Each structure stands twice: as structure tokens, then as C-alpha cells.
Structure 1
Amino acid sequence: METIWSKTLMPGDRWSGSIGKGKIIRFTAMGDGANLAMLMYNFYNLSEHYNAPDTMKAQHTFFLTKGHAIISDMGRALASIVDDTCGWHDSITGYTTREQTDAKYGKTTYQEQGNSYLKSGQQNFINELTKNGMSKRDLMPPVNFFSKIDADEKGNMIFCPDNCKKEMTVAIRTEMDVYIVLSNTPNPMDPSTTYPSVPIQIDISNANPVDSTDFCVCSSKYTRRAFENTWEYNLLLGK
């Protein structure tokens, strides 16, 4: 489909924006080992947001991939994953903090390094949220696109370093008008002591109409229920 907007998010960068219903947002890793953290909110009611526990529990999954809906704390499908060459995206490990970043990669500050200082996911998210009158209280666990977290027989979480290869993509379709926040910062479980440096290409295009036979809608009865909740919401808004 024809791209209507593009942006390259460099390592450590952040971005936020409002995106209307019926758009495809495609993320492309421009190198091996990418991690892109994303928060998502209802554009009209910013207190409604992506909810990792409900998304995982309702769809009986430990990770996200094609066919899964990104479900809010109101049980609605904010978006869905319509294409995925990576196959596994983390939704349980959260984001990096200033303390974690300093401890793992060495302390840097804006005062000393300027814009080259090493950003944390938490700082990036808060800086973007404040643009919409939000704050630290509006944080929640993000989706970490391109990262894989597995578990051993004892339940210990394991970071899988070879999950993402250069030019892998994941595409999400917005099912309602949303506000998203992105942070190109490391996964907090990445054991590397070198700050990752993988740009992410973002391309947005118009999606085809969604009906009851859509692949994501039909992936499970719980996913369908989330879509139905969204359809009802959009209908009453005249969307």
C-alpha cells in the first residue's frame, strides 16, 4: 500500500503521535537486535490504555505475533498485528530506567554528553507523555517489538539475543483512533553491555476495511470479543 508518512527513529530516540483508525503502522528493524518499546492509548480517553495482562490472558499467550489484538484495560482492541516476519514480541519485561541504564552502559548525562547521552525507556516515555498533559502515573508495561523472552523449566525468564535480524518487520493496524508513544531503547533484559544502536523505520499507510472474516478477528473467540467491543465503541462515536 502507498505510504502516507515515514520516519526513522534513531537509537535512543522517542516519538509520540495521534493516529486515526484504519491505518497500518509498519516497523522495520534496520539491523540485528532491535527493540522498540510502545505504549498505546485511546485518543479520546487517555485513561484507557494498552493492558499487557488482559492482552496476554484473554488470548492465552506469552508473547505477541500476527493475529493478536493489542487490548486495552476496557477490553477493546486498540490495534491488531496484521503482519510479522519476526514472530515473537515481548510484552512482559517493561522498559529501562535511568538507574539500569547507568549501571549497565556507564553513566552519561545531558549536561556532559548533550544529545548523545544514553536515554532510558522510562525517561523517553515520560518526556513524551507530558506533551499531552500526562505523567509518570500514566506509565504501564509496553510492548517490546522485536524482542523475545522465553522461560526455562523453572520459570526463569531468558532473553533470546538472536530473535531479530536486519530488515525484519511487524505491522499493526489501528482499530480505533489512538495515541502511541515509542522509545527506541534497549530491552531491560538484554545482557549486552554495549548500548544497542539499531534504527527503526516507521511507515504508515491506509488499511483495507475490516470485516468479520478478518484473520485477526478470527484468531480466537477472545480476540473477536475485543473487536466487537471496539466496533460498538466506534459505532456510537460515528466512526
Structure 2
Amino acid sequence: MTTLHVTDTVGNARADARAQTGLTSDFMPYLPASSSPYVPAGVDPATLTWAETVAPGGYTHRVIARGTHLRLDDPAGDANAHVLLFNADEPWERLNVADTVKIPWQAYLGAGHPLLSGDGRALATIVADTSGRHDALFGTSTDAANLARFGDARPEGPAPSGRALFLKAAAKHGLAPRDLPPSISFFQGVRVGPDGAIEWLGSAGPGTSVTLVAELPLIVLIANVMHPADPAPGYRSGPLRVHAWRGSPTLPGSPRFDASPESRRAYLNTLDYAEARA
């Protein structure tokens, strides 16, 4: 009969764990963020607060401060960053896609576009965009749709749905399925024709990026999954790079602040709320 010694078992486990020190993956957060090998041009690495490469079919999440700049990069041309935003102080305030489209009178996302909550405040603003291929109409993929199309929708499977990944990310912030509204997505575009037909634009190609600025402290959830309107016969997804750094929100005097009467009201509501809480 073999006798197992607990101290030997624990010691071996510790040695095995420590042997993994220094191992890296292509898809992981960079710690510290300043160690990222992909720091965006013009950004001081010392100001980075988040740096990560998200795997195809993967997800990530983070709480970021007001004024943080959040840049998403599509290095291979197949990323599709489905994004949800919540007020980190009061997460029942969340992204409202209908208001995000209605307030700027524009259904297609691009530079200068505020991302609105249902409380009439700007949660974030798109401040730079080299892709121009984004979507505020379809939301993300569901388990039912992926099961019907690919035969699988599990978060750890070959064809994860965006909804399944959002549920995992949301749970880490105390959010439940009922807290998840429709999302927006970046890097795969659609257009609606005069007859209502959907035109699939797909990706603008590798090497494009989009940058947001947080107008309030935010919970950010990102699912990097295939767009539900993508006609590709197989499940298609590529790596997504994420970098965030300290900065300033949209303030009076910025062209974005006074881009329209509706935008000005949204930014005034945001400023009023932020200053009262500060």
C-alpha cells in the first residue's frame, strides 16, 4: 500500500505552479500594462492602465475611470468587439442603443458619436476611428442562433455566442442576465438599404482601430465573437487588442460637446452628474 504524504503533495504542487512562472500566451493581459508590446503610437506607456490581447472567441472586462481612453485594435481584420457599458457607480444605468442612435440622429457609429445611457447621459464617446465598420443594429449572437448555425454555442466551445460570454463577464461584476441590454459592435459593418435590406460590409481590413473616452466611471464588457450577420460559412473571429490609458473626458469647449443641441444636453447631464458625485 502506498502512503501519500500531504506535505509532499503540496510541495510538488507548489513546485509545478512556480515552474510556470515566466510562461506567456499570445492571449493574455500584460502586467503591468506598460509592458505591452503593442503600445499605441503617441501613448506614454506609463499612463497605461489596461493592456490585453483577447483571443478569437474570447472575452474581457474591466472597470475604468472617468476620462480613460479605451482603444480597440483589429490586427488581423477578423475581430468583432461587441461592447456593453455600465455606470460603474450605479450599474443600473447602462448603454441604451436606441438613444445612442437617436440622440445624434445617426445610426452608423463613427468618430464624435456619443454612446448614451437611458438616463440621457453620455457614458462614452468615440474620439478616433480608422475602421468605419461598426454596428448598432444587430446586437450580439445568441445561443439559439449559434446552435442552429454551428451546432455549438458554449463559451469554451468552437463557436461561442456573444450572449454566453457577456453572461460570464457580467457575473464578475454582480450583474445578472436581466442586466444585459443590446450591445454595439466594432470592426464589422452593416448598412440598411432604401428597401430595408441589409448590406454586409464586413471588415475594413487589418490594422484598424477605434478609440473611446469614458465620460463616467465604467464597467466595460467585451465579447470578441463573430458578427451575427457575417455570411461566412464557418465561425470566423480574430484577435482583438485592448489598451486603456488615463486622460480627460469631454468638457465644455470641446467640439464634441457642442456638436448638436442634443449632444450638448447629454454632455451637460453627464457633467452635472459627475460633478455632484465628485
**Superposed pair shares fold, TM > 0.5:** yes
Q: Give the deviation of 1:180 after TM superposition.
A: 0.9
- Would you say the 8 A contact 2:80–2:237 is kept in 1? no
Structure 1 stretches of 4+ with a deviation exceeding 4 A read none
Aligned equivalent of 1:236: 276
Q: Determine if contact 2:123/2:216 at 8 Å carries over to the other structure.
A: yes
1:45 matched to which residue of 2?
90
Map of 1:92 onto structure 2: 137
Q: Deviations over 1:160-212 (max 9, x none)?
A: 12x32101000000011010110001111111122113101001112246432
Contact 2:134 / 2:187 at 8 angstroms: preserved in 1? yes
> What's the counterpart of residue 124 of structure 2?
79
Q: What corresponds to 1:122 in structure 2?
A: 163
For residue 180 of structure 1, give the secondary structure of its aligned residue in structure 2.
strand
SS in 1 for 2:172: helix
Equivalent of 1:174 in 196, 214, 220? 214
Contact 1:37/1:144, CA 8 A, preserved across alignment: yes
- Provide the C-alpha distance between the structure 1 equivalents of 2:253 and 2:134, rounded to a whole number of angstroms: 25
SS in 1 for 2:148: helix
Percent identity of paired positions between Structure 1 and Structure 2:
28
Mapping for residues 3-152 of structure 1, pairs under 5 Å: 3=45, 4=48, 5-107=50-152, 115-152=156-193
Runs of at least 5 residues in structure 2 that lack an aligned partner in the other structure: 1-42
Counterpart of 1:153? Answer: 194
Q: TM-score, normalised by structure 2?
A: 0.79
Using the TM superposition, name which of 17-26 and 217-226 deviates more: 217-226
Query: Which gives a bigger RCO, structure 1 or 2 (Cα 8 Å, sep 6+)?
Result: 1
Question: Structure 1 40/109 Cα, relative in aligned 2: closer, same or farther at 3 Å?
Answer: closer
Larger radius of gyration: 2
SS at match of 1:46: coil
Measure, in 1, the Cα distance between the counterparts of 2:196 and 2:153. 34
- Alignment root-mean-square deviation, CA: 1.6
C-alpha distance in 2, partners of 1:34/1:218? 32
Tell me the TM-score normalized by structure 1.
0.92
Contact 2:56/2:79 (CA < 8 Å) preserved in 1?
A: no
Unaligned runs of 5+ in 1: none
Residues of 2 paired with 1:133 and 1:231: CA distance?
26
Instruction: Report the residue type matching 1:121 in the other structure.
Output: G
Q: Does 1:186 align with 2:230?
A: no
User: What's 1:213 paired with?
Assistant: 253
Q: Secondary structure at the match of 2:199?
A: strand
How many angstroms apart in 2 are the aligned matches of 1:204 and 1:170?
12
What SS is found at the alignment partner of 1:183?
Answer: strand
> How much does 1:82 deviate?
0.6
Structure 1 residues 109 and 24: alpha-carbon distance in aligned structure 2, compared to 1, 3 A threshold: closer
201-210 or 94-103, larger mean C-alpha shift: 201-210
Shift of 1:102: 2.5
Which one has the bigger strand percentage?
1
Partner residue in 1 for 2:266? 226
**Compared with structure 1, are the counterparts of its residues 231 and 116 closer, same or farther at alpha carbon in structure 2 (3 Å cutoff)?**
same
Counterpart amino acid of residue 197 in structure 1: S
Q: CA deviation at 1:99?
A: 2.1
SS at match of 2:135: coil
Are the structure 2 counterparts of residues 154 and 194 from structure 1 closer, same or farther at C-alpha, using a change threshold of 3 Å?
same
- Please name the residue that 1:198 is paired with: 238
- State the distance in 2 between where 1:109 and 1:9 align: 17
Aligned-partner residue type, residue 265 of structure 2: R
Contact 2:63 2:219 in 1 (8 A): yes
